[in-house]
Structure 1
Amino acid sequence: MPRFYHRGQVSNRKGKFDPNDEERVKHTKISKVWELYEDYEVKKPRLSFFSFSPRQRLERYLGLYENLPFVWRMLKDIGRIRACWFYLGVYLIIQLALSLAPAIQLWYSGQLLKIVETAVEKRTVDKQLLFRIASGRIASSLAELVLNHVTTIVVRPLNSQIKQYYTVHMFGVLARMDVPTYDDPLIQRQLEQAFPSGSRNSIVWRTVATCIHVVTSAIRLLSQLSVLYSVLNKQKDGLLFAFLSFSQPLLAWGSGYNAGIFTRVWAATTRNVDYIELSGLRKSVGDSAHRKEIVAGNMWEYMQAEYKRCIDVLGEDAVEFWDAFRYLRFHRFPTFLTILRQSMKEMPQIAFTLRAVQYPASIPVSLTSLTLITTTVSSFSNTLFSFFNETGFITETFDAIRKMYEMIDLPNRIPDGIIPYPENQQALQMGISIEFRNVSFKYPESKSYALKSVSFKIVKGQLCVILGENGSGKSTILKLIGRLYDPEEGQIFVDDQDIKTLKLADLRRAMAILFQDYTHFPLSIKENIALGDPGHSGDMERVTQAATLGGASKFIERLDDGYDTYLDRPVRDYYSGLPEGTTNIFGRAVDFGRVRGAGGMKTNEATSLSGGQMQRIALSRTFMRSLMSESNVGLLLFDEPSASLDPTAEHDLFERLRLLRGQKTMIFSSHRFGNLTRNADMILYIHDSVIVEEGSHNQLIKAGGEYARIWNLQAQAFL
């Protein structure tokens, strides 16, 4: 099957490409998801080459045995997929039939050769026999054409069901990974190998198809070889002709032809909200920037459920553009011209037979034999080389299956606890107590301590501010409280219970965390805020209330699409060969500058918001969780929540947080001194990974230490 590529190149044609121009542009709805706008140009093929190394293939065969348990597990998983065995059975029957087709056609060719021999020797021909043989030859060829078409029909739902089943597994693997596991470079490489991006077919389907093709290729070879030998053995010098005919493709083995690249003016986009959300969710769990919020916010179960919902709604249409485009080109039943062309391909041999019958003395049988041998040996050699290639790929596909299941079974590095938390849900309204006892921690692959022998206790309902310069360890304390990491030394207690003994999902459900390096998800603003409380994601009233509390509602309402605005549109538009005058398409600007460097053209899909506006959206997500789920959250953690806010916005934010927190425990990390620290119940002043001062604002001022010195320096700046 030809492969198609997209290239973001600019056409020499002047003017611009307008998808809404119905007179010049053809609009095709490919599926529920994709829309294609076409203005055809020239279609061009190209050549490609591949190499063959027998030694490398022999080495691959040796690894088959250790991968067989994973392949067996794969087969059992496939058996659980709805209707999969039916399609797989139909596919297998068709492939077995197709494997016998070359031998059947060869047998008919041998019968035609016998008719020629009889005509030469006896000067007579059985016309009825000739008609039956010729008709059978054409019928077998047409049957092969139809079976190949049915194969394309069966493969799509089969591949789609397998791919959807495993893509949900893949999404779950990515979504459930904790931060230390996900950040490991080795795990990242293994993920890319186990779940390659942009793959048209699933690894599982490629494995199944390869195994079936190896078996059917073996059957095809044996059947062809049997019939070919019976035909050639009766012909003078038949085996010699076969050897000579076989030598040419043998020497040419290793070269191939790949047609499919073409140049045209076209564009494609999607407006399907479910597919855009699906793509955004997939992009979110695959980006390490979102990992902390997904883990700390306990979002993964909701995100996986929402991802599955989108998959179920879209069904077979939940595919990338190029998959949908290939199906558009190849799913149609062969046209009358295609059928006629397939039939006419067999006519030269039939015509040669008729001519031999008409003038038997002028055409030696040996010439007919040579023609037959040349065509059949060419088919046989192609089958043989295909068999060698497919058997070589078996080890690769089996190895990919092993890697896939190893990643599915990969445990998180943060072990789950066994004790439910809390025992009394209403107790969360009074806050959560936190205690560190001689806690030390180093980040993976770091030689220096981020925290060293840190001890403190925050009682229920307190407002605590952790102060210190950048890199002092403030954010690390919050990450350890959320169990994004575990300390190397010491213990952390939550309500006087070892934090490691508590169920992770319960613990994180009782907390709301906003990190300094907050992220925005490649979803709409509404969905970005709603992720703070996935259980109420459909409640627009709560979303707007959270946006108001986060200080984001005013600028959101001024946006053209309001809460439906995408911060970073997760689905790209595809197009190529656009005229020079095209600067905007589908409502998004075209960036020609990136085309020539990256080899692909796409629109500028990100929304331009300031750092402060982006932080307010992240704050709104925290408000959605902490203030809308009052009975579920007892601890609020804010890591530099005002870093991108102006002084007025910062003051308003702190006042809203103080007044709306009720009696819950609230912990801030900041490098700023001000009204927040003045009202704090406890201040932890941290320097160089160690807490050097602890107490209220008045206590620390009276102590005259480092806190008092910096406070006085800042105060003098405003005198």
Structure 2
Amino acid sequence: MGRFKRAVTKRKGVFNPEDNTRVKHTRVGVWDLYEEINPDLQHIPGSTWIEKTLEAYACLPYLLRMVRDILSIRSCLVLIGAYGVAEVLSSLIPAASLWYSGQLINILQSAIETRQVDADKLFRICAGRVGCSITRRLLNHALAEIKGPLSRRLKAQYSLHIFRARARLDLPTYEDPLVQRQLDEASSTSGSIAYDSVMMAGQIVATLLQVVTQVSVVAQVLGGQRDGLLLAILCFATSMSDWVGRWNILGSEQVWAATTKDKEYIRMVGMKHVVNNVEHRKEFIAGNLSEFMSKEFEEVSERVGPDNAMDFNDVRRISRSRKHFNFWSLLHDPLRELPQIVFTLRAIQHPASMPVSLASLNLLQQSTSQFSFMVWRFFDQTSSITEQLATVRKLYEVANIPNRIEDGTVPFPEDAQKIQHGIALEFRNVSFRYPGSEQYALQNISFKLSAGQLCVIVGANGSGKSTILKLVSRLYDPDDGQILLDGHDIRTLKLFDLRQAISVLFQDYTHFPLSIRDNIALGDPSNFRNDEHVEAAARLGGASDFIEKLPEKYDTYLDRPVRDYFSGIPEGTKTLFGRNIDYSAVRSAGGMGARAGGLTLSGGQMQRLAVSRTFMRSVVSEDTKVGLLLFDEPSASLDPTAEHDLFARLRELRGNKTMVFSSHRFGNLTRHADLILYMNDSVIVEAGTHDELMKRQGEYARIWMLQAQAFL
């Protein structure tokens, strides 16, 4: 609750809320608002406008890139062309209607002077007015029909752009909270930025065209009448005062931050989260907290007060609305009354012309009403050109976020056939701390493993076992020391080649929200559509037996990413469309629909699927390029029988490949290891074979005996 919400800005320097010489502090309810009041160019006259102009100019290359990208979508070219034509024609309709209205005034003036009416001309003008109305309706329908497909195509294009931008990021970069925020901001609006930009451009052109054509027609219609131009100026001045008072074509990018230290408000919001979030429901019900929390929330709400119990965005919106009073708003009401005053004076001086004056005034009021609506719509849809340009820039900058793990240049392996016999692995004085941590996860680690050997890393949780595997696959780079594969520093190897030569199963494995078939097949994208390989990998991973018993077998989704929608159904309904119903999704989604029930598997079954995915690339494919197998606690969720079977398969299927295996349980795999590393507190305490370590009677032997006694 106390975190700052940053405004989007490219301004260099430091924003310090405690610096009262550069930052203005305002108390708004329970919120403390800090606004920058001292930009870098503050002493230069017009510096704010210059700075905004420079910011807008810096965004132009991104706008041009967006134009090129949009025009490269063939299906969008026709839609944009049709939209442009329809928008231009639609912007001309108000001027055409004004012209016909002016002709009606001329007929009225002629009738007053000659006592005669040209019926044919009157009919044509009336028909023209009706034609304008019909044409406006048709153009509005055409624009609505065009905008839908255009929006969908642009959304699909930029969804691909965001997908690629996210997919290219390495782990340290992706885990950075600032990068996550940048990605979230771009992703939340990616589907609408391009569409909004096209709409903004169309609205700007349409607005300018409407202004020019309407003013021209009004000037032509009323130019020959007594005081006609004066009435036109006064009527349009009202709308222009609104426009000038709100015109902010280069919107402010002021730096600001807000926080609240009000303990009662923070507690009130926290209590809302406890009640609203499903993850707290179990403890909430078990703790009998319903009545107590309701009473506490009522008391806290009373102490906070209704005027303060608001999110900052609501408070800021109210605060901004109070600041709209200015010089132009002060002139607005007097300007609106002036046309009536002028009309009254004119009628007193020239009573005979009163009908014409009344018609002219009605025409002007109608014109200015349309004009005002157009201006309000323009501001509502465009808001700020600078803000929109900054949004476009933000969308494209996510594709240029630099990765922390630099790619190497050396191809690997040098001999594709040699990799079948394993890869030599060596750590030389490697130390590493995770980003943001002051404690070492690994400290001065050194060991050497020859090609084709089996290494088992054992030790307690948190000792550094998993970190070794993450460094080998270059999810992170060490702070000190070297890691060598076949004598090459892994920093020099091409990342794609390095990871292609390694098959890894992490302890904190995940399953993708895809089918079981796809989950396994993603272990080897080159054989993604090879069903025989998928089924073979499932057999080797010990997952085929329970997969075959599932109703949809390999097409089963563990967690279906698309939910079902339905109206209220009888409480006794437990399944729908062949799936269990998860009513928690109904509550969390506000009753819009329930989540399509996901499959519930045991931890052991889930782990077998993960092992199957690893086997997909490491042992199933005949032309595999994998020479190093990394397994991080692959038996943690398996029962003893399944663990024994897994270890037996690992020894049998790895062939001549090098394998590094980590575990906190000392199973029979350690008996066959060429090298055992016993780790504790981020360092290697003991190293050797099983027999060697047992003879030493050290920590490894002590813990091995403790675990062995459990089965005696």
Establish whether TM, by shorter chain, passes 0.5: yes
Shift in CA distance, 388/716, structure 1 to aligned 2, threshold 3 Å? closer
Distance of 2:572 and 2:126 partners within structure 1: 58
Shift in CA distance, 62/116, structure 1 to aligned 2, threshold 3 Å? farther
Paired letter, 2:524:
D
Shift in CA distance, 252/397, structure 1 to aligned 2, threshold 3 Å? closer
Q: Would you say the 8 A contact 2:239–2:371 is kept in 1?
A: no
Moved more, 124-133 or 587-596: 587-596
Q: Which residue of 2 aligns with 1:679?
A: 672
Distance of 1:467 and 1:664 partners within structure 2: 20
Moved more, 682-691 or 219-228: 219-228
Alignment of 1:420-435 (within 5 A): 420-435=411-426
Q: Would you say the 8 A contact 2:158–2:191 is kept in 1?
A: no
Q: Would you say the 8 A contact 1:420–1:506 is kept in 2?
A: yes
Distance of 1:460 and 1:487 partners within structure 2: 22
Question: Is residue 2:511 matched to residue 1:520?
Answer: yes
Deviations 1:666-715, CA, capped at 9 Å, x for gaps: 11100001201111111011110001111100011111211011112222
Paired letter, 1:475:
S
TM-score (structure 2 length as normaliser): 0.73
Deviations 1:481-527, CA, capped at 9 Å, x for gaps: 00111101101000001101111111111111000001010000011
Q: Which residue of 1 aligns with 2:157?
A: 165
Question: Is residue 2:103 matched to residue 1:114?
Answer: no
Q: Secondary structure at the match of 2:383?
A: helix
Alignment of 1:447-596 (within 5 A): 447-575=438-566, 584-596=575-587
Of 703, 711, 717, 2:710 maps to 717
Q: Secondary structure at the match of 1:472?
A: coil
Paired letter, 1:106:
L
Shift in CA distance, 58/590, structure 1 to aligned 2, threshold 3 Å? farther
Q: Would you say the 8 A contact 1:68–1:398 is kept in 2?
A: yes
Distance of 2:243 and 2:595 partners within structure 1: 44
Q: Which residue of 1 aligns with 2:609?
A: 617
Of 214, 219, 222, 1:229 maps to 219
Shift in CA distance, 394/581, structure 1 to aligned 2, threshold 3 Å? farther
Q: Which residue of 1 aligns with 2:436?
A: 445
Distance of 1:635 and 1:573 partners within structure 2: 43
Paired letter, 1:230:
Q
Of 193, 210, 220, 1:203 maps to 193
Deviations 1:56-80, CA, capped at 9 Å, x for gaps: 9999667322211211222222333
Distance of 1:68 and 1:446 partners within structure 2: 40
Q: Would you say the 8 A contact 1:57–1:392 is kept in 2?
A: no
Alignment of 1:183-332 (within 5 A): 183-196=175-188, 201-234=191-224, 239-240=230-231, 243=234
Distance of 1:154 and 1:515 partners within structure 2: 49
Shift in CA distance, 684/548, structure 1 to aligned 2, threshold 3 Å? same
Distance of 1:253 and 1:528 partners within structure 2: 59
Q: Secondary structure at the match of 1:408?
A: helix
Q: Would you say the 8 A contact 2:465–2:679 is kept in 1?
A: yes
Q: Would you say the 8 A contact 1:246–1:378 is kept in 2?
A: no
Distance of 2:631 and 2:245 partners within structure 1: 62
Structure 1 residue 657: Cα displacement: 0.9
Q: Secondary structure at the match of 1:364?
A: helix
Specify which structure has the bigger relative contact order, considering alpha-carbon pairs within 8 angstroms and separated by 6 or more residues.
Answer: 1
Distance of 1:75 and 1:241 partners within structure 2: 39
Distance of 1:113 and 1:81 partners within structure 2: 49
Structure 1 alignment gaps of length 5 or more: 1-55, 256-360
Deviations 1:575-617, CA, capped at 9 Å, x for gaps: 4566777665434444445544553432243211111111111
Distance of 1:592 and 1:693 partners within structure 2: 53
Distance of 1:406 and 1:505 partners within structure 2: 24
Q: Which residue of 2 aligns with 1:3?
A: none
Distance of 1:210 and 1:251 partners within structure 2: 20
Deviations 1:522-558, CA, capped at 9 Å, x for gaps: 0000110111111112121211111111111111111
Deviations 1:28-55, CA, capped at 9 Å, x for gaps: xxxxxxxxxxxxxxxxxxxxxxxxxxxx
Deviations 1:401-433, CA, capped at 9 Å, x for gaps: 111111112222111111111121111110011
Distance of 1:455 and 1:608 partners within structure 2: 42
Shift in CA distance, 581/701, structure 1 to aligned 2, threshold 3 Å? closer
Q: Would you say the 8 A contact 1:512–1:626 is kept in 2?
A: yes
Q: Would you say the 8 A contact 2:455–2:660 is kept in 1?
A: yes
Structure 1 residue 179: Cα displacement: 0.5
Distance of 1:579 and 1:371 partners within structure 2: 60
Shift in CA distance, 382/580, structure 1 to aligned 2, threshold 3 Å? farther
Distance of 2:190 and 2:413 partners within structure 1: 46
Alignment of 1:337-356 (within 5 A): none
Q: Would you say the 8 A contact 2:458–2:676 is kept in 1?
A: yes
Paired letter, 2:556:
T
Distance of 1:115 and 1:246 partners within structure 2: 28
Q: Would you say the 8 A contact 2:190–2:395 is kept in 1?
A: no
Structure 1 residue 88: Cα displacement: 2.4
Q: Which residue of 1 aligns with 2:86?
A: 94
Q: Would you say the 8 A contact 2:159–2:190 is kept in 1?
A: no
Deviations 1:320-359, CA, capped at 9 Å, x for gaps: xxxxxxxxxxxxxxxxxxxxxxxxxxxxxxxxxxxxxxxx
TM-score (structure 1 length as normaliser): 0.73
Matched-pair identity in %: 56
Moved more, 422-431 or 361-370: 361-370
Structure 2 alignment gaps of length 5 or more: 1-47, 247-351
Paired letter, 1:643:
A
Structure 1 residue 227: Cα displacement: 1.7
Distance of 2:245 and 2:554 partners within structure 1: 56
Distance of 1:567 and 1:136 partners within structure 2: 64
Shift in CA distance, 539/90, structure 1 to aligned 2, threshold 3 Å? same
- The alignment of Structure 1 onto Structure 2 pairs a total of residues equal to 559
Q: CA RMSD in A?
A: 2.9
